[in-house]
Amino acid sequence: MKTTEYFDALKSRPDRAAIKDEWIARVIDAPEHERTQSDGRIRRWARIPEAEGRWLRVVLLADGETVHNAFFDRRFDP
Protein backbone atom coordinates (compact mmCIF):
# COMPACT_ATOMS: atom_id res chain seq x y z
CA MET A 1 0.00 0.00 0.00
CA LYS A 2 1.45 3.35 -1.05
CA THR A 3 1.18 6.12 1.55
CA THR A 4 2.13 9.76 1.96
CA GLU A 5 4.53 11.01 4.64
CA TYR A 6 1.54 12.80 6.18
CA PHE A 7 -0.33 9.52 6.56
CA ASP A 8 2.73 7.78 7.98
CA ALA A 9 3.02 10.48 10.67
CA LEU A 10 -0.70 10.34 11.52
CA LYS A 11 -0.73 6.59 11.86
CA SER A 12 1.13 6.76 15.16
CA ARG A 13 -1.61 8.82 16.83
CA PRO A 14 -3.60 6.84 19.42
CA ASP A 15 -6.94 7.48 17.66
CA ARG A 16 -5.53 6.20 14.36
CA ALA A 17 -3.34 3.33 15.58
CA ALA A 18 -6.36 1.01 15.90
CA ILE A 19 -7.16 1.28 12.18
CA LYS A 20 -5.87 -1.86 10.51
CA ASP A 21 -4.21 -1.80 7.10
CA GLU A 22 -6.55 -4.58 5.97
CA TRP A 23 -9.54 -2.32 6.70
CA ILE A 24 -7.97 0.48 4.67
CA ALA A 25 -7.38 -1.94 1.79
CA ARG A 26 -11.01 -3.10 2.03
CA VAL A 27 -12.28 0.48 1.71
CA ILE A 28 -9.97 1.13 -1.25
CA ASP A 29 -11.01 -2.05 -3.05
CA ALA A 30 -14.72 -2.09 -2.22
CA PRO A 31 -16.00 1.34 -1.16
CA GLU A 32 -19.67 1.75 -0.36
CA HIS A 33 -19.49 5.47 -1.21
CA GLU A 34 -17.03 7.60 -3.13
CA ARG A 35 -16.62 11.33 -3.79
CA THR A 36 -13.92 13.29 -5.57
CA GLN A 37 -12.74 16.52 -3.96
CA SER A 38 -12.08 19.70 -5.96
CA ASP A 39 -8.31 19.11 -5.58
CA GLY A 40 -8.65 15.66 -7.20
CA ARG A 41 -8.28 13.63 -4.02
CA ILE A 42 -10.69 10.74 -3.71
CA ARG A 43 -12.70 10.04 -0.56
CA ARG A 44 -13.96 6.48 -0.08
CA TRP A 45 -16.09 5.11 2.75
CA ALA A 46 -17.10 1.66 3.91
CA ARG A 47 -18.57 0.26 7.11
CA ILE A 48 -16.20 -1.83 9.21
CA PRO A 49 -18.19 -4.50 11.09
CA GLU A 50 -15.21 -5.35 13.30
CA ALA A 51 -15.14 -1.71 14.49
CA GLU A 52 -18.73 -1.62 15.72
CA GLY A 53 -19.99 -0.87 12.21
CA ARG A 54 -18.34 2.55 12.07
CA TRP A 55 -17.64 4.24 8.73
CA LEU A 56 -13.99 4.34 7.74
CA ARG A 57 -13.04 7.17 5.39
CA VAL A 58 -9.91 6.73 3.30
CA VAL A 59 -8.58 9.71 1.38
CA LEU A 60 -6.48 8.86 -1.67
CA LEU A 61 -4.37 11.15 -3.80
CA ALA A 62 -5.60 11.80 -7.33
CA ASP A 63 -3.65 8.74 -8.53
CA GLY A 64 -6.31 6.59 -6.83
CA GLU A 65 -3.83 4.41 -4.96
CA THR A 66 -1.75 6.51 -2.53
CA VAL A 67 -3.32 6.77 0.94
CA HIS A 68 -3.21 10.30 2.36
CA ASN A 69 -5.56 9.88 5.34
CA ALA A 70 -7.79 7.32 7.05
CA PHE A 71 -10.11 7.80 9.98
CA PHE A 72 -13.47 6.79 11.40
CA ASP A 73 -15.88 9.42 10.12
CA ARG A 74 -18.44 10.14 12.83
CA ARG A 75 -20.25 12.73 10.72
CA PHE A 76 -20.66 10.67 7.55
CA ASP A 77 -24.30 10.28 6.57
CA PRO A 78 -24.79 8.26 3.42
| pLDDT of the residue at 47 | 97
| pLDDT of the residue at 28 | 98
73 contacts 58 by C-beta, under 8 angstroms: no
| pLDDT of the residue at 77 | 87
32 contacts 65 by C-beta, under 8 angstroms: no
| pLDDT of the residue at 26 | 98
As a whole number of angstroms, the distance between CA 61 and CA 47 comes to 21
Task: From first to last of the 78 residues of the chain, give the pLDDT tens digit.
Answer: 999 999 999 988 888 889 999 999 999 999 999 999 999 999 999 999 999 999 999 999 999 999 999 999 999 988
| pLDDT of the residue at 50 | 96
